[in-house]
Chains A and B, each alone.
Chain A
Amino acid sequence: MAIEIEQPSVGLSRVAVSETHGEDSPYFAGWKAYDENPYDEVKNPSGVIQMGLAENQVSFDLLEEYLEQNLESSTWGNGNSSFRENALFQDYHGLKAFSKAMASFMEQIRGGRAKFDPNRIVLTAGATAANELLTFILADPGDALLVPTPYYPGFDRDLRWRTGVKIVPVHCNSTNNFQVTPEALEDAYSKAQAMNIKVRGLLITNPSNPLGATIQRSVLEEILEFVTRKNIHLVSDEIYSGSVFSSSEFTSIAEILEVQKYRNAERVHIVYSLSKDLGLPGFRVGTIYSYNDQVVTTARRMSSFSLVSSQTQNLLASMLSDSKFTENYIRTNRERLRKRYELIIEGLRKAGIECLKGNGGLFCWMNLSPFLDKPTREGELDLWNSIVQEVKLNISPGSSCHCSEPGWFRVCFANMSEQTLEIALKRINDFMEKRKRSWLLFSNL
Chain B
Amino acid sequence: MKWLSKKVTCNSHGQDSSYFLGWQEYEKNPYDEVRNPDGILQMGLAENQLSFHLLESWLSKNPDAAGFKRDGESIFKELALFQDYHGLPAFKNAMVEFMAEIRGNKVRFDPKKLVLTAGATSANESLMFCLAEPGEAFLLPTPYYPGFDRDLKWRTGVEIVPIHCSSSNGFRVTQSALEEAYKQAQKNNLKVKGVLITNPSNPLGTTITREEIDHLINFVSAKEIHLISDEIYSGTVFNSPGFISVLEALKERNLEDTDVWNRVHIVYSLSKDLGLPGFRVGAIYSNDDTVVAAATKMSSFGLVSSQTQYLLSVMLSDKKFTSNYIAENQSKLKERHDMLVSGLADVGISCLKSNAGLFCWVDMRNLLSSNTFEAEMELWKKILYEVGLNISPGSSCHCTEPGWFRVCFANMSEETLRISLQRVKAFVEVESTIASNSNSHRQSPRSSRRRSLTKWVLRLSSHDRESER
Q: Which residues of A contact B (CB under 8 A)?
A: 3, 5, 9-17, 21, 23, 55, 57, 60, 63-64, 67, 71, 74-76, 83-84, 86-90, 125-126, 128-129, 132, 136-141, 143, 157-158, 162, 198, 200, 231, 275, 279-284, 294-295, 298, 301-302, 304-312, 315
Contacts and interface: CB of A to CB of B under 8 A. Distances in A.
B81 A57 contact: yes
B29 interface: no
A269 to B, nearest CB: 11
B279 A16 contact: no
A71 B122 CA distance: 32
B119 to A, nearest CB: 7
B302 A305 contact: yes
Contact of A136 (B55, B155, B224, B276): B155
B225 interface: yes
Given A16-B290, A88-B49, A141 B134 contact: yes
A76 B47 CA distance: 20
19 contacts: A11-B193, A13-B130, A16-B291, A23-B297, A60-B76, A75-B67, A88-B277, A90-B119, A125-B280, A132-B301, A136-B7, A157-B297, A158-B301, A281-B80, A281-B81, A294-B4, A305-B302, A312-B305, A315-B307
Given A12-B294, A67-B68, A309-B304, 16 more contacts: A13-B130, A16-B130, A74-B66, A75-B67, A84-B56, A87-B52, A87-B279, A88-B49, A90-B277, A140-B6, A141-B134, A282-B80, A284-B305, A284-B306, A298-B8, A301-B150
B301 A302 contact: no
Given A87-B278, A280-B80, A281-B83, A198 B66 contact: no
Contact of A311 (B7, B122, B130, B279): B279
Interface string B51-74: 010011001000100111000001
B414 interface: no
Contact of A83 (B59, B83, B150): B59
A3 B296 CA distance: 12
Contacts of B280: 90, 125, 307-310
Given A13-B132, A83-B56, A139-B5, A129 B278 contact: no
Contact of B291 (A12, A67, A140, A158): A12
Contacts of A304: 121, 150-151
B302 A125 contact: yes
Interface string B158-196: 000000000000000000000000000000000001100
B434 interface: no
Contacts of B134: 141
Interface residues of B, number: 71
Nearest to A198: B1
B130 A12 contact: yes
Contacts of B318: none
Interface in B69-94: 74, 76-77, 79-83
B224 A10 contact: yes
Interface string B11-50: 0010100000000000000000000000000000001010
Nearest to B121: A304
B268 interface: no
B19 to A, nearest CB: 13
A295 B5 CA distance: 10
Contacts of A10: 224
Nearest to A297: B8
B280 to A, nearest CB: 5
Nearest to B293: A3
A88 B80 contact: no
A441 to B, nearest CB: 44
Interface string B136-150: 000000000000001
A11 B79 CA distance: 37
B67 A309 contact: no
Nearest to B130: A16
Contacts of A301: 13, 15, 150
A123 B14 CA distance: 20
Contacts of A60: 76-77, 80
Contacts of B153: none
Nearest to A61: B77
Given A128-B300, A282-B80, A282-B306, A309 B8 contact: no
A87 B307 CA distance: 14
A83 B303 CA distance: 22
B129 interface: yes
A305 B77 contact: no
Contact of A15 (B83, B121, B130): B130
Contact of A84 (B8, B52, B122): B52
Contacts of A136: 5, 7, 155
Contacts of A9: 288, 290-291
Contact of A87 (B13, B118, B276): B276
B308 interface: yes
Interface string B425-466: 000000000000000000000000000000000000000000
Nearest to A77: B56
B321 to A, nearest CB: 15
Contacts of A11: 131, 193-194, 224-226, 263
B305 to A, nearest CB: 4
Contact of B278 (A128, A138, A281, A310): A310
Interface in B262-287: 263, 271, 275-280
B155 A125 contact: no
B311 interface: yes
A282 B301 contact: no
A125 B305 CA distance: 8
Q: Give the residue among A16, A200, A231, A298 with the most B Cβ atoms within 10 A.
A: A16
Contacts of A13: 129-133
A112 to B, nearest CB: 27
Contacts of B301: 125, 128-129, 132, 158, 162, 305-306
Given A15-B130, A231-B1, A315-B307, A74 B81 contact: no
A281 B79 CA distance: 9
Interface string B101-144: 00000000000000000110110010001111110000000000
A295 B4 CA distance: 8
B288 to A, nearest CB: 7
